Amino acid sequence: MTLTKDNREFNWLKRVSLQFISEKDFNIIDKSSVKLNFKKGETILKQGSLSTHIVYLEKGIVKFNYEMNTNKNLILTIVSAPKILGGANLFYKDNNLFSIVAVEDCETVLIDANVMLNVLMRNSKFAMMLYQLASEMFKKSVLNFISMSYKHKEGRIAEIILYLSNEIYNSRTFELSFTRKEIAEFAGCSAENVIMTLSRWKNEKIIETEGKLIKIVDVEKLKRISKMG
């Protein structure tokens, strides 16, 4: 983790915020914030720790991890910048429900939760916007979990590859920032299942792989696998 005090940029957050709050209020948020760079694998927010900040993800990709009592790790969702992370902490004032972990080098801005709450109390439309952003992220996570819970492992893996293509990398050809083990934690299966499934799809010309590079060749077939589960 690297602390950076200069060159803080809220490009996306500032543009969105100034639709609802004054420049003065935004500057209050700005002054309470600090920019932190996280290396791949570093924890940005820790499950069980106190909720003291919300996080604006300026650059990079993160995963939402939930560690069960059995020490088994589940990936609830994966998101890419720009996003407001931990926004639900403002509305659920307790410990963090899950961990947020960098899956590639990330640039973030940590904003003091109490300062943000004071600004929200003066700006109801801004509060509603932030609540909607947080709710939408959790809605996608819950719907993803429900959808995959009714599918066999091959359908779950297909859905994840399509999700990464459409929501994270915005391309049918992408280089994974994740390990096969992380894909398995997202799909709720073993790493061996992921490796064998991707290998079979490669032989069937559904995808092409080379190292961490994946190219979706037959997107319609992959969609059918995902739909049929």
Task: Write the Ramachandran bin of 194: left for phi over 0, alpha for psi from -120 to 50, otherwise beta.
Answer: alpha
Structural domains in the chain (count): 2
Q: Per residue in 116-125, pLDDT tens?
A: 888 988 988 8
Provide long-range contacts, Cβ within 8 A and 24+ apart, for 48-51: 48/95, 48/96, 49/95, 49/96, 50/95, 50/96, 51/86, 51/89, 51/92, 51/93, 51/94, 51/95, 51/96, 51/113
CATH number at residue 44: 2.60.120.10
Domain boundary among 148, 166, 189: 148
For tokens 């969105």, name the residue.
Answer: 16
List the structure tokens of 125. 């439309």
Give residue 215's pLDDT: 97
Residue 138 has pLDDT above 90, yes or no: no
Q: 212 and 183 share a domain?
A: yes
By the 10 Å C-beta count (0-12 exposed, 13-18 middle, 19+ buried), 138 is classed as middle
Q: Which domain holds residue 201?
A: 151-228
Q: 183 and 76 share a domain?
A: no
Q: Quote the pTM value.
A: 0.82
For residue 200, the SS3 value is: helix
Q: Per residue in 160-183, pLDDT tens?
A: 999 999 999 999 999 999 899 999
Q: 58 and 107 share a domain?
A: yes
The better pLDDT of the pair 22, 219 is held by: 219
- Cβ-Cβ contacts under 8 Å for 136 (sequence gap 6 or more): none
Share of the chain above pLDDT 90, in %: 40
Q: 18 and 125 share a domain?
A: yes
Give residue 7's pLDDT: 44
List the structure tokens of 121. 């109390």
Q: 22 and 10 share a domain?
A: yes
Q: Per residue in 23-68, pLDDT tens?
A: 899 899 888 889 999 999 999 989 888 778 888 899 999 999 988 8
Domain boundary among 148, 183, 207: 148
Q: 115 and 28 share a domain?
A: yes
